[in-house]
Structure 1
Amino acid sequence: MEPTPQKGKRLTSLDALRGFDMFFIMGLAGIVIAVTKLFPDSTVMQWLESQMHHVEWHGLTHHDTIFPLFLFIAGISFPFSLESQRRAGKSHREIYRKIIKRGITLVLLGVVYNGFFQLDFENLRYASVLGRIGLAWMFSALLFVRFGTKTNLALAIVLLVGYWLALWLIPNSSDPYSFEDNLVGTVDRMLLPGKLIYGSFDPEGLLSTIPAIAMAMFGMFTGQWIQLPSERYPDTKKTSYMLIAAVLLILIGYIWSLQFPINKKLWTSSFVCVVSGISLILFSLFYYIMDIKGYTRYALFFRVVGLNSISIYLAQEIVSFSKISNYFLGGLIKHLPELYGGLLSHIGYFTVCWFFLYFLYKKSIFLKV
């Protein structure tokens, strides 16, 4: 019999971490790159600049962790939502219906983001970041509700190992993890309609959703762990155990990568283990600082974004925040040296996005899916 979870409370750390993660999509990566260009001879700055880009194929940079962290956070949130629904007397059928509705909604929003209203369906990309989150979270949530922790942990392991074996053993290729010849691309070309972003395959395609399900499940295990009663499991102990688990996941990932390379575009199982560990470390730090120690003075700066993360993700594709920024700062930028003008331009874009979300926050307008 599993311990009874403590009554749910909204974690300041979770909203803040989601906001921190979205900062890089919202323009912080551009600011960092602009700063590094001011110091072209600095080895440290060159390394930092490289971390703001995705790797071409095998390997890992900070930029490769942004999307997985968001999925991990979505997983952490679900046990709290599930507990709230159960306290409200929701039946399993109602809970399942809500999960499926949310998953499908995210898939549809992803298609809209990719240009649905251009009505060019032959060249429309149907796979998407939001679609990956929707499907991976949905299947993980359905499993989480249906089965116990031990069964779900076993299923997560089966998904990761099975995905590895499928990519390794099925293709008739000397390099089954190559860009040119991999099982992920074969499945995408067979089953995905419309445009594949890389021509031969899509990094948010169908088959690579399998390991993403396991990653969302790791997030759900984390949320479930946080829910355990503080009387029996002190918060500091929870944090320590999370950090230990994070280190183990990273070690497993890097050892696994000796045979199954770390690769975001393929969402390899080694990649999932490493980025899950990194995500768990970040959450542990935010949780310890904000929810255990209560240092929330600057939390609002992050939470404004974290509470409306999907809004800003979609809005950046629809609203020209750069034109708004340029309206106020364009004259000053013209009179600055090119590198400093570029930096100010990136800062202006980020600032306009943040104030847009702050306005929504003050008006209590939140896009909830």
Structure 2
Amino acid sequence: MKRILTIDIMRGLTLFLMLFVNDLYMKNVPWWLGHTEAGFDGMGLADWVFPGFLFMVGMAIPFAVQSRIKKGNSTWQVLQHIFSRTVSLLIIGVLMLNASRLNPELAGISKNLWALLMYISVFLVWNLYRNISRKAIFILKGLGIAGLLFLAVIFRSGTAESPGWLVTGWWGILGLIGWGYLSAALVYLVAKEGLLKTGLFWMLFFALNVLSQLKTLSILEFLRPALGILLEGSTPLLVVSGLFFSLILRKTGAEKWKQFSTIGLVLGVLCVLLGFVLRNWFIISKIKGTPSWGLICTGISILLFVLLFLVLDVWGKTRWSSVFKPAGQNSLTTYLAPNIIYYSVWMSSFPLFFYKYLENPVLVITGSVVWALAMIGFSALLSRIGIRLKL
């Protein structure tokens, strides 16, 4: 099957929106652009963006796995790659989560410097090195690993009377992606291209999400510290939904675009409607990961993908989308590289983010749009000079 441009573009678009909403200073912009509170029954733009990215993680899995198989990888090698990638995402996610918890007095290092060194070390370890010797790669990766170990050893949180160390917590954004990727990738290895089997797994995670929200899984409470994200069902539900829809695309093919678009339109509308039906029992809440929120986000993702697919892959209107393509092809670099700039600026106290505190909402929003676009360009520049994360 030929490469579907929409997969890269929609992934890049969701990353652009993630950078945008993460940069917004919500005090001076409309509420519907940001995240809603945990107890609020509703959602804003930011409450869809991350689920949209998770959906695209699932859509890419069949293409990525089949690409490895075509290159001669065995099932065992593919499985090794899946676990290696998952562990990498969990490690980076936990480090990112803990950066804000550091107590500078106990650790002997400022929060900004600890975080900056952490991101630099991450790039050293997981960069895709090209055109340099194995010895140089060994040294650079070794420096990165040593840096992460050092930062982990000196990390302290809490107080002098009650010091703490690194916690897994909710695993951070990348950790959630890791758990979602693991669940969907394993589903694909088991169900392969089978729509029925994949659909049953989708329903399994939906059921787990519902039961978890109803607090009826107390018998599995002992597994929650390690496998809580899977038991809650919300994150796997979003990724497996993308996997399921990807299989529909693979079976219909771009040639049968009318059939695919019709199925997508019906499925997307049904997911949104079912999400609103479930609102009678579960509020729409990203923070709580409710099934109503998950299905509405899935429906939105399906409908947006169909629209972009028609525009890009069927009608060939691609010129406007070129700005998002680098982000879609270098998603991890695009997401993490801005943090190096953030912490560098905060350490120097340079007023780069002055636009956040302007009173005019339009100027605040424009500033964050420019920032997000600039970070996509920054990621593309890094890729050109040989800095590109690859797990």
How does the TM-score come out when normalised to structure 2?
Answer: 0.72
Measured in 2, the distance between the counterparts of 1:31 and 1:206 equals: 27
- Matching residue of 1:133: 177
Shift of 1:160: 1.3
Q: 2:244 aligns with which of 188, 203, 221?
A: 221
CA distance in 2, matches of 1:56, 1:144: 32
Give the Cα–Cα distance (whole angstroms) in 1 for the partners of residues 175 and 232 of structure 2: 10
Change (3 A) 1:191 1:326: same
Say whether 1:10 aligns with 2:3: yes
Q: Which amino acid aligns with 2:296?
A: V
Q: Which residue of 2 aligns with 1:170?
A: 216
Aligned twin of 1:120:
156
Deviation at 1:362, TM superposition (A): 3.5
Whole-angstrom CA distance in 1 between matches of 2:297 and 2:271:
9
Q: Is the 8 A contact 1:136 1:210 kept in 2?
A: no
Once the 2 structures are TM-superposed, how far is the Cα of residue 130 of structure 1 from its aligned partner?
A: 0.8
How far does residue 289 in structure 1 lie from its aligned partner after superposition? Answer: 0.8
Q: Which residue of 1 aligns with 2:233?
A: 210
Identify the residue that residue 189 of structure 2 maps to in structure 1. 145
Note closer, same or farther for the CA distance 1:271–1:343 as it changes in structure 2 (3 Å cut): closer
Q: Is the partner of 2:281 in helix, strand or coil?
A: coil
Identity %: 23
**How far apart in 2 are the matches of 1:262 and 1:319?**
34
Quote the offset at 1:248 in angstroms. 0.6
Amino acid at match of 1:82: V
Q: Paired residue for 1:317?
A: 339
Distance 1:275 1:163, change over 3 A: same
Where do residues 1-369 of structure 1 align in structure 2 (5 Å cutoff)? 7=1, 9-27=2-20, 46=30, 49-57=31-39, 58-114=41-97, 115=99, 117=151, 119-120=155-156, 122-126=164-168, 127-147=171-191, 148-168=194-214, 170=216, 192=225, 206=229, 209-228=232-251, 230=253, 234-320=256-342, 323=345, 339=360, 342=364, 345-346=367-368, 349-363=371-385, 365-369=387-391
Letter in 1 for 2:166: L
Moved more, 311-320 or 218-227: 311-320
Instruction: Report if aligned partners of 1:55, 1:61 keep a CA contact under 8 Å in 2.
Output: no
Moved over 6 A (4+): 31-34, 324-330
Kept in 2, the 8 Å contact 1:113–1:314? The answer is no
Q: Is the 8 A contact 1:161 1:269 kept in 2?
A: no
1:222 positional shift: 1.5
CA contact (8 A) 1:262 1:268 kept: yes
Q: 1:150 & 1:169 partners in 2: Cα distance? A: 28
Query: For the structure 1 residues 129 and 169, does the alpha-carbon distance in structure 2 shift closer, same or farther, using more than 3 Å as the test?
Result: closer
TM-score (norm 1): 0.75
For structure 1, which segment, 346-355 or 286-295, has the greater mean C-alpha deviation from structure 2 after superposition? 346-355
Equivalent position SS for 1:228:
helix
C-alpha separation in 2, matches of 1:341 and 1:293 = 35
Deviation at 1:92, TM superposition (A): 1.5
1:316-336 CA distances to partner (integer Å, 9 max, x unpaired)?
A: 333238849996978x97xx9
Give 1:360 deviation, angstroms.
2.4
Deviation at 1:225, TM superposition (A): 1.6
Q: Secondary structure at the match of 1:289?
A: helix
Q: Deviations over 1:171-221 (max 9, x none)?
A: 8xxxxxxxxxxx7xx959x9549xxxxxxxxxx953565232122111111
1:108-142 deviation line (CA, Å, top 9, x unaligned): 11122223736227353421111111112112211
| In structure 1, distance between residues paired with 2:213 and 2:204 | 14
2:143 maps to none
Distance (Å, rounded) in 2 between the aligned partners of 1:347 and 1:249: 30
What amino acid does structure 2 have at the position aligned with 1:168? L
The amino acid that maps onto 2:237 is: A
Cα RMSD, aligned residues only? 3.5
Give the aligned residue type for 1:308: N
- Paired residues, number: 325
In structure 2, what is the Cα distance between the partners aligned to 1:344 and 1:158? 42
Question: Secondary structure at 1:313's aligned position in 2?
Answer: helix
Structure 2: gaps (5+ residues): 100-147, 158-163
For the residues of structure 2 that align with 1:347 and 1:169, how far apart are their CA atoms? Answer: 40
Conserved 8 A contact 1:253-1:272:
yes
1:15-47 CA-partner distances (Å, limit 9, x unpaired):
21122112222236756969x85xxxxxxxx4x
